[in-house]
Amino acid sequence: MTEQEIAAIAAGQRNPFPPHDPLSAAWRPIDARRWRVPGRPPPASYLTWLSWSNGGVFGNGERWFQLLPVDGPGGVRAMLLAYELPEYMPGALPFALNGGGVFYLFDMRAPADADGEYPVVASHAGNLGWNTDDECWLVADRLEQACRGRTNVEERD
């Protein structure tokens, strides 16, 4: 995290509760200084995908991917910080959206498997977290499997 990124996160913090609300006194701003972005290398399959298309949209049946470009205003790092993913889902790396407000993310909390792959999870952009099935769910064990899926990622068993 750069000092500029930390300052931007701090500047965007506002107590959402009115002063007379009991929750107002308990509210604390997020401290981006303690955030850690994933430090592991992304899977080779993802890097190959980026060499073919750094951004773009594709679908397979009812499953859609809006691939985040590597950089820029809608890029991976910008989205990681804008949605405060290190706060709510430490170890997650967003790489796409489904077109309906759901992130596709690599779960990089544990080392990659023997092939250098990470599980692909999904989480609603407005309800990020690792705690419950409402916050996060497994899409596939690896990127290729996620791409081969044909059902809408929001339709879970």
Whether the per-residue pLDDT at 157 is higher than 80: the answer is: no
- Chain segment 60-93, per-residue pLDDT in tens: 999 999 999 988 778 899 999 999 999 999 999 9
| Structural domain for 76, as ranges | 40-148
Whether 59 is in a domain gets the answer: yes
Task: Report which of 94, 103, 98 is spatially closest to residue 123, judged by C-alpha positions.
Answer: 103
Whether 154 is in a domain gets the answer: no
Residues whose CB falls within 8 Å of the CB of residue 103, separated by 6 or more in sequence, listed in order: 79, 83, 94, 96, 97, 122, 123, 124, 125, 128
Note the pLDDT of residue 121.
Answer: 96
Q: Specify whether 78 is located in the same domain as 103.
A: yes
Whether 104 is in a domain gets the answer: yes
Q: Specify whether 20 is located in the same domain as 86.
A: no
Query: Is 118:108 a contact under the CB 8 Å cutoff?
Result: yes
Note the pLDDT of residue 52.
Answer: 86
Neighbouring CB atoms inside 10 A of 31's CB total 12
CATH number of the CATH domain containing 127: 3.40.1580.10
- Chain segment 105-135, per-residue pLDDT in tens: 999 999 999 999 999 999 999 899 998 778 8
Q: Specify whether 76 is located in the same domain as 144.
A: yes
Distance CA 145, CA 84 (A): 27
Q: Specify whether 134 is located in the same domain as 80.
A: yes
Q: Specify whether 64 is located in the same domain as 3.
A: no
Residue type, 109: R
Average pLDDT value over all residues in the chain: 91
Stated pTM of the model: 0.89
Task: Report which of 86, 115, 9, 114 is spatially closest to residue 105, judged by C-alpha positions.
Answer: 86
Whether the per-residue pLDDT at 149 is higher than 90: the answer is: yes
Q: Specify whether 50 is located in the same domain as 17.
A: no
Q: Specify whether 26 is located in the same domain as 66.
A: no
Whether 156 is in a domain gets the answer: no
Neighbouring CB atoms inside 10 A of 75's CB total 15
The number of domains in the chain is: 2
Whether the per-residue pLDDT at 35 is higher than 70: the answer is: yes
Q: Specify whether 70 is located in the same domain as 130.
A: yes
Q: Specify whether 54 is located in the same domain as 105.
A: yes
Q: Specify whether 29 is located in the same domain as 64.
A: no
Q: Specify whether 117 is located in the same domain as 46.
A: yes
